[in-house]
């Protein structure tokens, strides 16, 4: 990371202090809404929201389907904060900016991060509208040093060399697969590997075939940096991908993926994701009292 892109501890702290002074909510769960999934925030009770534009140091959402609001509230009595709109590398943001809210969440007292995204299917057998519990990720930009933890390490957040062998909480993955049986949607659920590419182009057929050979199940343009930063600062992480389109692996296919179709499928499935996440949060336990 370039020195000019670094964000100092005091800047995160300033934003967290501003939020703590502006609301009585004290969230334990942070939720990041993927493209078109802002409806997830509507389930929060006793809501209080802030436009990103009014929060000191916060980046601004520039992508359609990302409203740009931070919403505090309770899910079944569990205190949450929800980002209606995330930041992506392809918007021109540094990875420090992309992941800025995650460290702010930590300073607010958040213990568990829930990440959601819209993604294209690579795995055979996945269909549009299916839901994938993320069991692991491949952080492609990280391979070339486009990594949110590059640069001097701030020990107040975490260690220099964090492990990513247990990035996604196994207990929360299993609980969600069990819950999907209770909710009657286990037929559309998968557990799989998410791959982050930089975007903003969708994949060529050759890239899609390569990802298939690598063992990728779903591909998108976000999530991995947020998860890395959350794990670095000691949060537990749970992630869901909504499969909004099939990634084309053959030449001569008629369908062409596009953002409009991504938003359409997200909006259709948002209510189900909302139920799944509400039931999951209801069963979460924290290391300190709410």
Annotation: binding site for a purine D-ribonucleoside: 203, 245
The span from the CA of 163 to the CA of 154, in Å, is 16
b/e map 37-74, b = 16+ CB within 10 Å: bbbbbebbeeeebbebeebeebbebebebbbbbbbbbb
User: Which x/- pattern over 209-238 shows residues binding ligand HPA (rule: CB under 6 A)?
Assistant: ----------xxx-----------------
Closest distance to ligand LQZ7MJT6 from the beta carbon of 191 (Å): 19
**Looking at 23-31, 51-59, 172-180, 214-222, which segment touches ligand LQZ7MJT6 (CB under 6 A)?**
214-222
User: Which x/- pattern over 147-186 shows residues binding ligand HPA (rule: CB under 6 A)?
Assistant: ----------------------------------------
What stretch of H or E contains 280? helix 259-282
Q: Name the binding residues for phosphate.
A: 35, 66, 86-88, 118, 222
Identity of the residue, 75 or 119, whose beta carbon is nearer to ligand HPA in the bound complex: 119
- Cα–Cα distances in Å, from 19 out to 97, 103, 108, 114, 281? 18, 13, 8, 20, 22
User: Closest CB to ligand LQZ7MJT6 belongs to which residue?
Assistant: 34
Among residues 262, 273, 277, 280, the one that binds ligand LQZ7MJT6 under rule CB under 6 A: 262
| Residue 190 binds to ligand LQZ7MJT6 (criterion: CB under 6 A) | no
Categorise residue 101: left if φ over 0, alpha if ψ from -120 to 50, beta otherwise: alpha
Catalytic residue flag (residue 94): no
Question: Which residues face 81 on adjacent strands?
Answer: 30, 72
| Residue 222 binds to ligand LQZ7MJT6 (criterion: CB under 6 A) | yes
The span from the CA of 7 to the CA of 253, in Å, is 45
The span from the CA of 17 to the CA of 6, in Å, is 20
Closest distance to ligand LQZ7MJT6 from the beta carbon of 200 (Å): 7
Tally the residues of the chain.
290
Among residues 220, 232, 236, 277, the one that binds ligand LQZ7MJT6 under rule CB under 6 A: 220
Q: Which of 88, 137, 190, 232 is catalytic?
A: 88
| Local structure of 34: helix, strand or coil | coil
E strand segments, the chain: 29-32, 45-51, 69-75, 78-84, 112-121, 131-139, 189-196, 218-220, 236-246
Instruction: Tally Cβ neighbours within 10 Å of residue 282.
Output: 12
Q: Would you say 78 and 91 are in contact if contact means Cβ atoms under 8 Å apart? A: no
Among residues 94, 139, 223, 245, the one that binds ligand HPA under rule CB under 6 A: 245
Closest distance to ligand LQZ7MJT6 from the beta carbon of 10 (Å): 28
Among residues 119, 216, 233, 235, the one that binds ligand HPA under rule CB under 6 A: 119
| Residue 167 binds to ligand LQZ7MJT6 (criterion: CB under 6 A) | no
- Which residues in this chain contact ligand LQZ7MJT6 in the complex, by CB under 6 A? 34-35, 63, 86, 88, 117-118, 199, 220-222, 259, 262
Which residue ranges make up the site for ligand HPA (CB under 6 A)? 118-120, 202-203, 219-221, 244-245, 247, 257, 262
Write out the catalytic residue numbers. 35, 66, 88, 90-91, 118, 221-222, 245, 259
């Amino acid at each position: 990371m370039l020195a000019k892109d670094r964000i100092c501890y005091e800047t995160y702290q300033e934003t967290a202090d501003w939020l703590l002074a502006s609301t009585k909510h004290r969230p334990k769960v942070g939720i990041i809404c993927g493209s078109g999934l802002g409806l997830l925030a509507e389930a929060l009770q006793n809501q209080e929201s802030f436009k990103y534009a009014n929060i000191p140091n916060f980046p601004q959402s520039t992508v359609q389907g990302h409203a740009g609001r931070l919403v505090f509230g309770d899910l079944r009595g569990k205190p949450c904060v929800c980002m209606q709109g995330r930041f992506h590398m392809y918007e021109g943001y540094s990875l420090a900016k992309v992941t800025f809210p995650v460290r702010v969440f930590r300073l607010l007292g958040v213990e568990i991060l829930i990440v959601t995204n819209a993604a294209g299917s690579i795995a055979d057998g996945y269909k549009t509208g299916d839901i994938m519990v993320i069991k692991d990720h491949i952080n492609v930009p990280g391979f070339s040093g486009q990594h949110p933890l590059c640069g001097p390490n701030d020990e107040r957040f975490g260690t220099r060399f964090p492990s990513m062998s247990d990035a996604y909480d196994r207990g929360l993955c299993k609980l969600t697969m069990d819950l999907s049986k209770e909710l009657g949607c286990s037929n559309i659920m998968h557990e799989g590997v998410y791959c982050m590419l930089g975007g903003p182009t969708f994949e060529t057929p050759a890239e899609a075939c390569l990802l298939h050979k690598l063992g990728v199940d779903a591909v998108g343009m976000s999530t991995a940096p947020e998860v890395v930063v959350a794990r670095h600062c000691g949060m537990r992480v749970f992630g869901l991908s909504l499969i909004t389109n099939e990634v084309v692996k053959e030449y001569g296919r008629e369908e062409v993926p596009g953002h409009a179709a991504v938003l359409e499928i997200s909006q259709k499935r948002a209510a189900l994701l909302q139920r799944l996440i509400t039931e999951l949060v209801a069963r979460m336990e924290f290391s300190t009292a709410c």
